[in-house]
Amino acid sequence: MSASRTPGFRRMSKTHKFSIAGIAAAGASALAFSLVPGSAVAGTETQVAPASEVAWSATVDTAKATALQTSIAEQNAFTAAQAKAAAQAKAQAAANVKAAAKAKAVAAAKAAKAKAAAKERALEQAASRAAARKPVYANNLDGWIREALDIMKKHDIPGTYHGIYKNVMRESSGNPRAINNWDINAVNGVPSKGLLQVIKPTFDAYHVPGTAKDQYDPVANIVAACNYAADRYGSIDNVNSAY
pLDDT digits 0-9 by tens, 76-120:
999 999 999 999 999 999 999 999 999 999 999 999 999 999 998
Q: Across the chain, where does the E strand assignment appear? A: none
What does pLDDT average to over the chain? Answer: 82
Mention every residue, 6+ apart, whose C-beta is less than 8 A from residue 208.
151, 152, 155, 157, 220, 223, 224, 227
Angle at 176 between CA 172 and CA 180, to 5 degrees: 50
13 pLDDT more than 70: no
Quote the CA–CA distance of 56 and 13 in Å, as a whole number. 58
Provide the residue ranges of all domains of the chain, joining segments of one domain with +.
64-134, 141-238
- pLDDT class for 1, splitting at 50, 70, 90? very low
CA distances to 136, 152, 198, 235 from 195, rounded to whole Å, are 21, 16, 8, 17
Hey, is 179 helix, strand or coil? strand
Quote the CA–CA distance of 12 and 237 in Å, as a whole number. 187
Residue 49, pLDDT score: 52
- 141-238 in CATH: which number? 1.10.530.10
